[in-house]
Amino acid sequence: MGISSERDLADFLITYTRDMAVSDEEPDAILDRYFVPDFEYCNDGLVIDRQRMIDHVRPVRKNVDKEVMTADDWSGVEIHEALVSGDRIAARWTLRTKLRKGKIFAAEIYMFGHLASDGRIRRIDQISKQLEEAQ
């Protein structure tokens, strides 16, 4: 289930984002699919470890509009570029989602990562910029 191609990376960005936000599946099971146990996820300078990521899921799941994100044609992730070279990954993508109270969250994300030998993610470094279209 690891990442070995640009298509795999794009699929990860879409599926992981959706599953962490709206799935009934336990977040640790989702993380195990895509990340090694001791992964580091550095977002806008803040390093998020496994437990912190799990703790982050509950408020996310509470605040997103589940009807929008669970639709079969959900396109809240727009992949602009996805690159895989050996054990390195990079992507530029936009996330848009409707929140439960009607607001829109939108951000452009620049992500760089390092894969373990099994194709799961060992580290991600990313920066995000909230877009003005967000309400």
- For residue 61, the model assigns a pLDDT of 86
Read off the DSSP letter of residue 119.
S
Token pair listed for 90: 């990079």
What does the pLDDT read at residue 11? 94
Output the pLDDT for position 75: 60
Give the pLDDT mean for 20-35: 92
Q: What whole-number percentage of the chain has pLDDT above 70?
A: 90
* Strand order across the 77-85 sheet: 46-48, 35-43, 121-130, 104-115, 88-98, 77-85
pLDDT in tens, 61-93: 888 877 665 555 456 889 999 999 999 999 999
